[in-house]
Amino acid sequence: MISFDHVGVRYDGAREPVLRDIDLEIDEGELCLVVGRTGSGKSTLLAAINGLVPYFTGGTLTGRVITGGRDTAAFRPRELADVVGLVGQDPAAGFVTDTVDEELAYTMEQLAVDPLAMRARLEETLDLLGIAGLRDRPLRALSGGQQQRVAIGAALTAHPRVLVLDEPTSALDPVSAEDVLAAITRLVHDLGVTVVLAEHRLERVLPYADRLVWLAGDGTAVSGAPAQVLRSADVRPPVVEIGRLAGWDPLPLSVRDARRLAAPLRARLPAAPPVPGHVSRAGAGPVLTARGVVVRYGPLIAVAGADLALLPGEITALMGRNGSGKSSLLWALQGTGERAGGTVSAGPSGQDPARLSPAQARRLVGLVPQIPTDLLYLDTVAAELAQADRDARHEAARPGQRRTAREILDAIAPDVPPDAHPRDLSAGQQLSLVLAIQLAAAPAVMLLDEPTRGLDYHAKAGLAGALDLLADAGHAIVIATHDVEFAARSCDRVVVLADGEIVSDGPSATVLTASPAFAPQAAKVLAPLPYLTAAQVAAALEPAPAS
């Protein structure tokens, strides 16, 4: 269906090609998963399938890409619209119209589909994706998961034989992500659509994949059956990691496979993990106390009376579905967001950050927003860091305790080049830069709003390391996140919000294993043993001799 014949792509002005010598055959009806680190060329590979690379992005493509029998050298993306449907990471950015049914009809209108056929197809698509109830609604009023399903539907109405999806679940909470992925697997199984999918959270899609394409990072690709490719790939979900540690062959791809193989492993493992999922650095005496925090926007109550005390050196994960009030709570704690009721006291003298000037508030509580680049406006990393030092200058700073933004950045992410443009950095580097800028004001409390979205496994490991460093330095840290695996590995405590109320609050080992459906994969495989991460399994297996 799709064939890449010695394909190489080099963008103008780049020293190294993004892709080189890629040979790939994707057959009809396959679900092909493309994995690789950020910047390894996943999006380039996907966009080459319908010719957006190089027609739209510029650069040079060598070799030959043939999609559905058409050579992309001869057909432009618009002329492949009846063969390939492509859905990007941010579905809202690709919407052309403003209501659901007009959006679904848009591609068909461009392809001059007969009006009667158009209506029939539209109804089918609405049912297939379970969005019939949304048909008249404005696109902007939909939730992230609904928008993503509408975007997929809009690509599907043209009856393409290939559907290309670039990280369709990166911004979604676990339940919405599950909905979208369920819809995708249904397309593969019921309609035989060929699906090519890039995804960071492998653990969700891997069980359904027929083929895995791993981009090694140097421009080359390895393609094959998932279990085979994962032996050498540098991106691995926890279930595969456990399989490798236990020496299972073939490698399990789903929790179910692993669970069936896990009985001997469970017998071998000590009843209590020798190391905790995350070594706590929490001290005593809260640095921030919030009581009865209420946030409301008109009739909508976003946070309904939350109580929270943050300890120095403690890393807290704030979890809950999209719209459960995580961001509102973080902004209210920082003092910049609205707060309709309750008290927040931070710092040694128990001040309310909402009553202070922005410059004073950020010395008590720092916040990295969901889109960190909103804070960046200068041309180079060095200029941003220097500006951060000037902004953070204050008399109260105790000499010796203050560090410059550059020093902080070097500690948490040593590889950020000072003369680069902040917009050219990877998502992980941008996050580190903004974190360093916010830390230059030396706040005792650091809040991060969804820092893990769009980060690959390596960037997440880097973030976890940076958070540990901050915890060592005595900062209290809160991260809002959907990522259960990340919470299991790097947080001491998990707070779950639902409809603006805190529904559970406790050590991560307790909260994350309380419900099997939302536990990390290691816990699902090894229950009832209280293991949370593959690293714990590795530590438990280590002392036992291999014999």
User: Which tokens is 486 given?
Assistant: 């990340």
Of the two residues 71 and 79, which places its CB atom closer to another protein in the complex? Answer: 79
Number of H helices and E strands in the chain, helices first, is 21, 19
Closest CA to 430 of 458, 409, 402: 409
Q: What is the CA radius of gyration of the chain?
A: 24
Stretch binding another protein (CB under 8 A), from 118-126, 181-189, 242-250, 285-293: 118-126
Residue list 409-428, contact with another protein (CB under 8 A): 423
Residue 260 binds to another protein (criterion: CB under 8 A): no
* 105: enclosing H helix or E strand: helix 100-110
Question: Rounded to the nearest whole angstrom, what is the least distance from the CB of residue 146 to another protein in the complex?
Answer: 7
Residue 143 sits in the site that holds another protein (CB under 8 A): yes
**Calculated CA dihedral for residues 466, 486, 280, 392, nearest 10 degrees:** 30
Cis omega (within 30 of 0) on the bond before 520?
no
402 lies in the site for another protein, by CB under 8 A: no
**Does residue 452 belong to the site contacting another protein (CB under 8 A)?**
no
- How far are the Cα atoms of 37, 235, 540 from residue 427, in angstroms, in the given order? 12, 17, 34
* Touching another protein, residues 40-69 (CB under 8 A): 50, 52, 55-56
113 is a contact residue toward another protein (CB under 8 A) = yes
- State how far the Cα of 366 lies from the Cα of 267, in Å rounded to an integer: 46
Q: Rounded to an integer, what distance in angstroms lies between the CA atom of residue 480 and that of residue 448?
A: 6
User: 308 near 494, Cβ under 8 Å?
Assistant: no
Residue pair 313/472 in contact by the 8 Å Cβ criterion: yes
Per-residue contact string for residues 177-216; x = within reach of another protein by CB under 8 A: ----------------------------------------
Write down the least CB distance from residue 142 to another protein, Å: 8
One residue of 35, 65, 105, 522 binding another protein per CB under 8 A: 105
Judged by CB under 8 A, which of 30, 82, 257, 485 binds another protein?
82
Q: Which is nearer to another protein, 118 or 261 (CB)?
A: 118
Member of 59, 73, 118, 191 binding another protein (CB under 8 A): 118
Q: Could you tell me the smallest distance in angstroms from the CB atom of residue 518 to another protein? A: 5
Nearer to another protein, 88 or 219 (CB): 88
Burial of 515 (0-12, 13-18, 19+ CB in 10 A): exposed
Q: Is 317 in the site for another protein (CB under 8 A)?
A: no
Subset of 468-507 contacting another protein (CB under 8 A): 496, 498-499, 503-506
Phi, psi torsion values for 21, nearest 5 degrees: 50, 55
329 vs 512, beta carbon nearer another protein: 512
- Under a CB-based contact definition with an 8 Å cutoff, are residues 252 and 516 in contact? no
- Using CB under 8 A as the binding rule, whether residue 510 contacts another protein is answered as yes
Other C-beta atoms closer than 10 Å to the C-beta of 275 total 12
Query: How buried is residue 246: exposed, middle or buried, by Cβ count under 10 Å (0-12/13-18/19+)?
Result: buried
Segment contacting another protein by CB under 8 A, of 252-260, 270-278, 319-327, 520-528? 319-327
Nearer Cβ to another protein, position 275 or 514? Answer: 514
Q: Does residue 334 bind another protein (CB under 8 A)?
A: yes
Per CB under 8 A, the list member of 185, 220, 228, 336 interacting with another protein is: 336
Supply the minimum distance, in Å, between the C-beta of residue 96 and another protein.
Answer: 6
* Least separation in angstroms between CB 49 and another protein: 10
Restricting to residues 343-382, which ones interact with another protein according to CB under 8 A? 358-359, 362, 366-367, 369, 371, 373-377
Q: Which of 23, 98, 307, 415 binds another protein (CB under 8 A)?
A: 98
Work out which of 36, 88, 273, 530 binds another protein, going by CB under 8 A: 88
Contact between 14 and another protein by CB under 8 A: the answer reads: no
Smallest gap from residue 435 Cβ to another protein (A): 12
Task: Please tell me whether residue 471 adopts helix, strand or coil conformation.
Answer: helix
Among 13, 15, 74, 93, which residue interacts with another protein (rule: CB under 8 A)?
A: 93
Contact 318, 481 (CB under 8 A): yes
395 binds another protein (CB under 8 A): no
Q: Which of 362, 404, 399 is nearest to 385 (CA)?
A: 404
Segment interacting with another protein, rule: CB under 8 A, options 151-159, 222-230, 234-242, 404-412? 151-159
Among 109, 352, 407, 410, binds another protein (CB under 8 A): 109
Retrieve residue 294's tokens. Answer: 């209420």
Pick the closest to residue 351 from 364, 362, 337, 367 (CA basis).
Answer: 364
Strands lying side by side in the sheet with 288-297: 300-310, 288-297, 341-346
Residue 371's φ and ψ, nearest 5 degrees, are -110, 90
Extract the runs of DSSP E, i.e. beta strands, from 46-158.
60-67, 70-71, 84-87
**CB of 98: closest distance to another protein in angstroms?**
6
